[in-house]
Structure 1
Amino acid sequence: MIRLLAGALAASALTAAAAHAQLEEVRVGLVAHDVVDHAEDGPQVSIELLWDTPEFLEPIWSPEPYLYGSFSTQGYTNLVATGLAWDGDITERLELEFSFGISYNDGVDDIVHLPPDDPYRIETASTRALLGSRWLWRTQLGADYMVTERWSAGVYYEHFSHGQILGNGRNQALDEVGVRIGWHFGD
C-alpha cells in the first residue's frame, strides 16, 4: 500500500511537471467495486486530480491530464491510474467525460501456480478478482452536473483490464460504478 501511494504521488508530480499546467479540479467519490463479477464486493473511496490542458495536447481535442486512485475499504484491490480525460458540454451545466489511461494495482494476479487443493487458492478463487497483471488499462465514462460555479456532482462507470496487451492469460478485470463531487479551482 505504501508503494502504491508513493507511486501515485510520483505520477502526480510527473504529470503536473510534464504538463506545466495548473490543477483544475479535485474530485472525491464513493465507488461500488467489482460490480460485474462480485468477487470483491465492497465500497471503494476514490480521489481524482485533473489539470488544465497543456498546449501540446490541444491538437488531440484538449484532454486534461488526470491522476486517479480507488482505495478499498474492505482490504481488496487498490488502484492508481494516470491518463487523459476528454469532456464535452451537453448543456450549460451538464458535461460528459471519457478518459483513458494506465493503472497499477495491488490485487491478485493469478493463482494457477498453487496446487488445486491449496487452502489459499480455494479461498482466493472465490473472494478476489484475478487480474492477470499489476498494470491495467483504465477506461471511464462519466457525467457531471455543475451545482454551483465551483461544485459539481457526478456519476461514472470505469473498467480496468489488461486487454491481453499489458498481460496475458487471466483477465478477470474490474468494473466499478461511482458517484463523485468535484471542486473546480477558479482563475
Structure 2
Amino acid sequence: MKSFIILAFVLSFTISFSQNSESSVKVDSITKNNYEKIHELRLGAIKFLAGGFLDVSYEYINSQTSGYGVSLLANFENSIDYEKFGLNPYYRFYFGNNPEFKGRGFFVEVFSYFHIGEEDDFYVNQQGNGVVEDDTFFDVAPGFAVGSKWINSSGFVFQLKLGVGRNLLGNNPNEFLATGDFYIGYRF
C-alpha cells in the first residue's frame, strides 16, 4: 500500500509537470508567431475619409527597435491643389521593448518626401479679366515625425503619427509641410 501511494504521488507530480511545460510551449509558439510578423500595410484613415487622399504605407520591421518603409500618397480631390502625388521613404526608431512584437510603441521617424503638386495663380490681366493659371511643381522635403503604434494579437495595427518637413527646392509655395494621420493596417 505504501508503494502504491508513493507511485501515485510520483505519477501525479510527473503529470502536473508535463502540463506546465506544454502550456509554456503553446505560449512561446504564439509569441514567436507574432514576433516573426515583419511586413505591414497601412491606410491613412483621416486623409482618405475627409480629404480624398489615398495614403498607403508599407513597412518592413527589421529589428526589435527599427523598421523602414515607404508611403505613397495620391490626391483624387481636384479642389485641393498643393499635393497631387507623393513618395515618402522613411526609417523608424522604436522605443518599446515587448517580447511579443517587434516595432511597437513610441517611435521617431526620419523621412524624405518627394512630391508633385499644383498651385493655382489668380491674377487680373490688362483687359480686367480674372485669369487662373495652374503651375505644377516638384519638391523634396526631408523631415522627422513622432508617433505611436499599437498592435493586437491578430495582427491589426493602429498608428498615430505627426511630422514636419522643409521643402528644399523652393518650388512649393509653402516652405514647410506637415504630415501625419491615424493609420489602420495589418501586420503579416
Offset of residue 174 of structure 1? 2.8
Amino acid aligned to 1:181: I
Asked if structure 2 preserves the Cα contact closer than 8 Å seen for 1:132 and 1:172, the reply is no
Distance 1:70 1:159, change over 3 A: farther
**Would you say 1:66 and 2:66 are equivalent positions?**
no
Counterparts of 1:42 and 1:172, CA distance in 2: 22
**Would you say 1:89 and 2:104 are equivalent positions?**
no
Asked if structure 2 preserves the Cα contact closer than 8 Å seen for 1:44 and 1:70, the reply is yes
Q: Which ranges in structure 2 are unaligned for 5 or more consecutive residues? A: 1-36, 125-129
Offset of residue 95 of structure 1? 0.5
Q: What is the CA RMSD across the aligned residues, in angstroms?
A: 3.6
> SS where residue 132 of structure 2 aligns?
helix
Offset of residue 131 of structure 1? 10
**From 45, 54, 65, the counterpart of 2:54:** 45
Offset of residue 140 of structure 1? 2.2
Asked if structure 1 preserves the Cα contact closer than 8 Å seen for 2:116 and 2:137, the reply is no
Offset of residue 23 of structure 1? 5.7
With normalisation by structure 1, the TM-score equals 0.57
With normalisation by structure 2, the TM-score equals 0.56
Asked if structure 1 preserves the Cα contact closer than 8 Å seen for 2:150 and 2:158, the reply is yes
Match of 1:167 in 2: 169
Counterparts of 2:105 and 2:136, CA distance in 1: 32
Q: Deviations over 1:112-163 (max 9, x none)?
A: xx79536225xx7xxxxx997521224222212123241121222233422x
Structure with larger Rg: 2
Asked if structure 2 preserves the Cα contact closer than 8 Å seen for 1:132 and 1:171, the reply is no
Counterparts of 1:69 and 1:101, CA distance in 2: 13
Amino acid aligned to 2:177: L
Range moving further from structure 2, 22-31 or 42-51: 22-31
**Higher relative contact order (Cα pairs below 8 Å, separated by 6+ residues):** 1
**Would you say 1:145 and 2:150 are equivalent positions?**
yes
Match of 1:119 in 2: 131
**From 70, 93, 109, the counterpart of 1:99:** 109
Asked if structure 2 preserves the Cα contact closer than 8 Å seen for 1:131 and 1:171, the reply is no
- Structure with bigger helix share is 2
- Structure with bigger strand share is 2
Match of 1:179 in 2: 182
**From 35, 41, 65, the counterpart of 1:26:** 41
Identity of paired residues, percent? 9
Amino acid aligned to 2:45: L
Range moving further from structure 2, 147-156 or 84-93: 84-93
